[in-house]
């Protein structure tokens, strides 16, 4: 038999039992539809994560922090800035501690592949704007670094110099304050009140009053800023270093009286310790320098954190997610393939005499196997194509609804599903393969029909 | 074995075993058929006529003994060779016609060509030619259910002959037909035998028809060939 004959024959055979073919194929459509939309979701989420990382240049980014600030002895590479309230372990006295100071930052800047190195300065402060007062973590950043792609501006502009009294605020802060129009806040005034420990000789009265239970050894100072731009916080949490609502120029920050803090541990660190930055950020020219720069920094006695390392873990997580989805979809597909087995076995029983006739007029066992296998494959092909279509339609609808709901909560519009070519072609191929697999048993049965029995006159 | 015979069997036996019971459908059957001759087979129901026919047609394999057709020992063929034998060497017709009910007359006749790798246009052309020969070209688009018994059997004959076999096996082809139609069918077969040199082996209950058209007759009883005396005494 010719290939076209197989296709024509199986088409016309399936057409003769339209309803059964439809129902069987529909089972496959559901299974493949589920598989496709789940994979599309997994792939879509993965794309969102990767593209956000890429967009923000996070793969080019290494954070450096002192060994003494280790949060986790067992897992020193993984620094979690959210892990606040953790009290650092007692320090290893034998190990000399290098300080993250300006000299080190300069040294870093000179290494091959480093585009820029800058201290990450954070401190808590009270922010007054629009008659409202909020406690915020303030982030200081050199002006030239702010423009390297970490931050996307919705409105306004970056700082021009490190010395100007400008501030960038996040759109989520505006949203929390109920301000819709980002443009309207550009040029407005904003006041930052800092807190500082008074541990110097001059502040002795403060300490004494603290010890007498009359108040904390803090002093407070107010600074005036002008809003120069509104930052966009992405749907994902954004870069860790930049996860802040308020960004000010580094030069100004140095002049402010404040506690530098990234976590509670810094409070302890700042008492009676050689001063230094609590964290330094490195922006690389290319992610390929990650390993060499990381090694250099670690050899110099510091800990590093690079998001690209996390990406591997995230990717592993996505593989598990895909496997989980695959397992669920496979249940549907198993049911569908049992449907195919059932349909074909029924069809063989009904076409018993026809198979006998085929053999009598010279069909080989192989011919008969192929005829039934083509029917199975055709069900698989149709199920795959329509399943893909169903998956696409369902995903599109879910995507629309999800975006509708989430946009009300300020999450930017995203594609939660992705349909790469390999998924489209792969799902159809997979459907055909599964159907052929389901067709194996019925096919062998068909070829074993005894023509003498099938043709007997009764 | 004598090479001058077109079909020849030697101690041909077929034993069916269902469970512990063994049924000898054929026992040491020796027949010889010359090329372009017409052999008639008679016998009571269950005497093994169809069993013999299926063995000759390559649909079944013997328990022992052998079959030679055109000098080839088909009883030694593997399933693939048997399929080719059925496809090109032999045509078969049956009492119940065995047409595909959902196919038109033309599609039924063209059906065997599907397995012979013939292109569709050629399949249709050849099927139309042969339908014309059995006088049913005008009915080519009719389903078997829309045709009379005689017409259906003619379609079956056309299908059996589409691959130009040299041997036609007919298992009670007139069993479902009235006597007038039966006569027409056997006449048509006889015409193929006389004018085209087709070798025919036909099973029938109607001794009169066989007497008129067959060159030779054998009678089966309990799976074995009965002698002429027994045959006549039974009549
Ligand atoms: N597949 C089979 N299994 C068991 N017994 C069979 C089978 N086919 C035929 N027989 C038996 O073999 C004998 C001969 O059958 P058959 O050749 O069909 O007879 P006929 O065609 O002369 O009526 C019968 O007794 C029948 O029951
Ligand atoms: Mg019979």
CA distance A59 to A56: 8
What spacing in Å lies between the alpha carbon of B209 and ligand 2's midpoint? 18
Asked whether the beta carbons of residue B111 and residue A357 sit closer than 8 angstroms, the reply is yes
pLDDT band at A110 (very low <50, low <70, confident <90, very high): confident
CA distance B131 to B115: 19
Does residue A68 carry a pLDDT above 60? no
Does residue A256 carry a pLDDT above 80? no
What confidence score (pLDDT) does residue A242 get? 53
Where in chain B are the domains? 5-95+166-234
Q: What is the DSSP string of A292-350?
A: HHHHHHHHTTEEEEEHHHHHHHHHHHHHHHHHHHHHHHHHHHHHHHHHHHHHHHHHHHH
pLDDT band at A99 (very low <50, low <70, confident <90, very high): confident
Q: Tell me the pLDDT tens digit for each residue of A374-405.
A: 999 999 999 999 999 999 999 999 999 988 88
Does residue A367 carry a pLDDT above 90? yes
Q: Which two tokens stand for residue A400?
A: 């629309």
CA distance A77 to A303: 7
Residues 190-229 of B with CB under 8 A from A: none
What spacing in Å lies between the alpha carbon of B184 and ligand 1's midpoint? 29
What spacing in Å lies between the alpha carbon of B152 and ligand 1's midpoint? 25
What confidence score (pLDDT) does residue B60 get? 94
- The reply to whether ligand 1 has any atom less than 6 angstroms from the CB of B26 is no
Q: What share of chain A is helix, strand, coil (3-state, %, to 5)?
A: 55, 15, 30
Residue of B nearest to A351 (CA): B100
CA dihedral A200, A203, A205, A209 (to 10 degrees): -90
What confidence score (pLDDT) does residue B121 get? 94
Q: What are phi and psi of A138, to 5 degrees?
A: -95, 135
Closest in A361, A451, A456 to B115, CB measured: A361
Choice among A40-54, A106-120, A240-254, A319-333 with the minimum mean pLDDT: A240-254
Residue percentage of chain A with pLDDT more than 90: 24
Q: Tell me the pLDDT tens digit for each residue of B53-62.
A: 999 999 999 9
User: Which is it for strands B32-34 and A121-129: parallel, antiparallel or unpaired?
Assistant: unpaired
Is B50 an 8 Å CB contact of chain A? yes
Is B164 an 8 Å CB contact of chain A? no
Residue range B10-37: average pLDDT? 92
Q: Which two tokens stand for residue A281?
A: 């950020």
Distances (CA, A) of A142 to A25, A120, A253, B117: 62, 9, 10, 79
Nearest partner of A70 among A83, A60, A59, A58, judged by Cα: A83
Nearest partner of A278 among A124, A435, A432, A111, judged by Cα: A124
What spacing in Å lies between the alpha carbon of A359 and ligand 1's midpoint? 19
Give the count of Cβ contacts less than 8 A between chain A and B: 73
Length of chain A: 458
Mean residue pLDDT across chain A: 79
Contact A321, A23 (CB under 8 A): no
Taken in order B69, B73, B76, B77, the sign of the CA dihedral is: negative
What confidence score (pLDDT) does residue A114 get? 84
Looking at the CA of B94, which ligand is closest?
2
Q: Please tell me the distance in Å from A347's CA to the nearest CA on chain B.
A: 14
What spacing in Å lies between the alpha carbon of A350 and ligand 1's midpoint? 23
What confidence score (pLDDT) does residue A77 get? 45
- The reply to whether ligand 1 has any atom less than 6 angstroms from the CB of B46 is yes
What spacing in Å lies between the alpha carbon of B171 and ligand 2's midpoint? 7
What confidence score (pLDDT) does residue A202 get? 56
Is B78 an 8 Å CB contact of chain A? no
Atom 1 (ligand 1) nearest CA: A453
What confidence score (pLDDT) does residue B224 get? 93
Where in chain A are the domains? 3-54+314-456, 61-307
CA distance B67 to B57: 10
CA distance A323 to A317: 10
Asked whether the beta carbons of residue B79 and residue A364 sit closer than 8 angstroms, the reply is yes
What ipTM did this prediction achieve?
Answer: 0.93
- The reply to whether ligand 1 has any atom less than 6 angstroms from the CB of B13 is no
Asked whether the beta carbons of residue A363 and residue B88 sit closer than 8 angstroms, the reply is no
Selected residue with higher pLDDT from B145 and A249: B145
Q: Please tell me the distance in Å from A442's CA to the nearest CA on chain B.
A: 20
> Which of B59, B157, B163, B203 has the highest number of chain A CBs within 10 A, making it the mutation to test binding with A?
B59
Q: Tell me the pLDDT tens digit for each residue of A392-440.
A: 999 999 999 988 888 777 677 788 899 999 999 999 999 999 999 999 9
Ligand 1 pocket check: which of B26, B43, B51 to mutate, most ligand atoms within 8 Å of Cβ? B51
Contact B177, B152 (CB under 8 A): no
Asked whether the beta carbons of residue A359 and residue B114 sit closer than 8 angstroms, the reply is no
**Residues pairing with A199 in the sheet:** none
Cα angle A343-A347-A353, degrees, rounded to a multiple of 5: 170
Contact A443, A344 (CB under 8 A): yes
- The reply to whether ligand 1 has any atom less than 6 angstroms from the CB of B27 is no
What confidence score (pLDDT) does residue B226 get? 87
Nearest partner of A31 among A440, A370, A379, judged by Cα: A379
Q: Quick count: other Cβ atoms within 10 Å of Cβ A407?
A: 12
CA distance A123 to A262: 7
Is A15 an 8 Å CB contact of chain B? no
What confidence score (pLDDT) does residue A212 get? 64
Q: Please tell me the distance in Å from A339's CA to the nearest CA on chain B.
A: 25
Atom 14 (ligand 1) nearest CA: B48
Q: Which residues of A355-392 are buried (b: 16+ CB within 10 A; e: fewer)?
A: bbbbbbbbbbbebbbbbbbbbbbbbbbbbbbbbbebbb
Distances (CA, A) of A159 to A105, A347, B58: 21, 76, 94
- The reply to whether ligand 1 has any atom less than 6 angstroms from the CB of B43 is yes
Contact A333, A18 (CB under 8 A): no
What confidence score (pLDDT) does residue A272 get? 47
Counting atoms of ligand 1 from 1, which one is nearest the CA of A456?
18
Does residue A309 carry a pLDDT above 90? no
Fold of B5-95+166-234: Rossmann fold (3.40.50)
What secondary structure letter does DSSP report for A188? -
CA distance A305 to B37: 96
> Which of A361, A444, A455, A457 has the highest number of chain B CBs within 10 A, making it the mutation to test binding with B?
A361
- The reply to whether ligand 1 has any atom less than 6 angstroms from the CB of B86 is no
Residue range A93-119: average pLDDT? 75
Q: Tell me the pLDDT tens digit for each residue of A205-253.
A: 655 666 666 556 666 788 889 998 888 764 433 344 456 788 888 778 7
Closest in B102, B111, B120 to A361, CB measured: B111
Asked whether the beta carbons of residue A367 and residue B50 sit closer than 8 angstroms, the reply is no
């Amino acid at each position: 038999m010719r290939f076209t004959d197989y296709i024509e024959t199986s088409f016309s055979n399936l057409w003769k039992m339209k309803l059964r073919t439809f129902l069987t194929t529909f089972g496959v459509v559901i299974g493949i539809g589920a598989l496709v939309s789940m994979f599309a979701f997994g792939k879509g989420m993965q794309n969102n994560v990767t593209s956000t990382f890429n967009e923000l240049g996070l793969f080019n980014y290494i954070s450096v922090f002192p060994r003494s600030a280790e949060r986790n002895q067992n897992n020193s590479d993984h620094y979690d800035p959210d892990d606040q309230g953790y009290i650092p372990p007692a320090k290893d006295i034998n190990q000399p501690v290098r300080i993250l100071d300006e000299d080190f930052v300069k040294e870093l800047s000179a290494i091959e592949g480093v585009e820029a190195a800058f201290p990450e300065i954070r401190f808590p402060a009270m922010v007054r704007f629009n008659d409202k007062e909020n406690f915020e973590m303030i982030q200081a950043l050199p002006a030239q670094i702010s423009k390297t792609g970490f931050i996307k501006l919705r409105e306004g502009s970056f700082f021009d110099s490190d010395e100007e009294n400008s501030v960038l605020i996040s759109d989520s802060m505006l949203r929390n304050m109920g301000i819709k129009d980002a443009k309207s806040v550009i040029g407005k005034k904003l006041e930052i009140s800092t807190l500082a420990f008074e541990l110097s000789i001059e502040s002795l009265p403060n300490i004494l009053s603290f010890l007498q239970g009359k108040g904390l050894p803090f002093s407070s100072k107010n600074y005036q800023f002008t809003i120069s731009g509104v930052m966009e916080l992405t749907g994902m949490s954004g870069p860790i270093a930049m996860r802040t609502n308020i960004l000010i120029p580094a030069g100004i920050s140095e002049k402010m009286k404040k506690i530098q803090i990234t976590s509670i541990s810094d409070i302890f660190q700042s008492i009676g310790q050689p001063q230094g930055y609590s964290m330094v950020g490195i922006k690389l020219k290319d992610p390929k320098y990650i390993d060499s720069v990381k090694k250099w920094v670690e050899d110099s006695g510091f800990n590093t954190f690079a998001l690209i390392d996390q990406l591997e873990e995230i990717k592993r997580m996505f593989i598990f997610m895909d496997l989980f989805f695959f397992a669920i979809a496979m249940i549907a597909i198993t049911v569908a393939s049992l449907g195919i087995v059932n349909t074909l076995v029924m069809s063989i029983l009904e076409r018993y005499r026809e198979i006998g006739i085929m053999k009598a007029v010279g069909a080989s066992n192989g011919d008969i196997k192929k005829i039934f296998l083509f029917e199975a494959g055709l069900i698989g092909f149709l199920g795959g194509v329509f399943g893909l279509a169903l998956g696409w339609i369902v995903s599109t609808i879910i995507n629309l609804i999800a975006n509708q709901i989430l946009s009300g909560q300020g999450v930017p519009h995203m594609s939660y599903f992705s349909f790469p070519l390999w998924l489209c072609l792969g799902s159809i191929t997979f459907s055909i393969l599964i159907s052929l697999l389901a067709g194996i048993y019925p096919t062998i049965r068909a070829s074993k029909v005894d023509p003498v029995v099938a043709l007997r006159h009764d | 074995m004598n090479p001058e015979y077109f079909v020849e069997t030697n101690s041909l036996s077929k034993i069916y075993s269902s469970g512990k019971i063994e049924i000898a459908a054929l026992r040491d059957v020796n027949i010889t058929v010359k090329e372009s001759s017409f052999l008639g087979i008679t016998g009571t129901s269950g005497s093994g006529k169809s069993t013999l026919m299926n063995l000759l047609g390559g649909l079944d394999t013997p328990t022992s003994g052998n079959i030679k057709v055109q000098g080839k020992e088909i009883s030694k063929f593997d399933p693939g060779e048997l399929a080719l034998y059925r496809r090109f060497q032999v045509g078969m017709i049956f009492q119940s016609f065995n047409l595909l009910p959902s196919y038109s007359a033309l599609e039924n006749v063209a059906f065997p060509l599907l397995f012979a790798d013939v292109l569709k246009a050629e399949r249709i052309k050849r099927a139309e030619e042969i339908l014309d020969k059995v006088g049913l070209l005008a009915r080519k688009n009719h389903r078997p259910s829309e045709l009379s018994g005689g017409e259906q059997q003619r379609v079956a004959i056309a299908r059996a002959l589409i691959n130009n076999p040299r041997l036609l096996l007919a298992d009670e082809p007139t069993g479902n037909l009235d006597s007038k139609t039966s006569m027409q069918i056997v006449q048509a077969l006889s015409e193929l035998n006389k004018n085209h040199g087709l070798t025919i082996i036909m099973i029938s209950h109607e001794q009169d028809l066989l007497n008129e058209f067959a060159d030779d007759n054998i009678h089966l009883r309990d799976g074995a060939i009965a002698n002429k005396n027994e045959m006549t005494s039974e009549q």
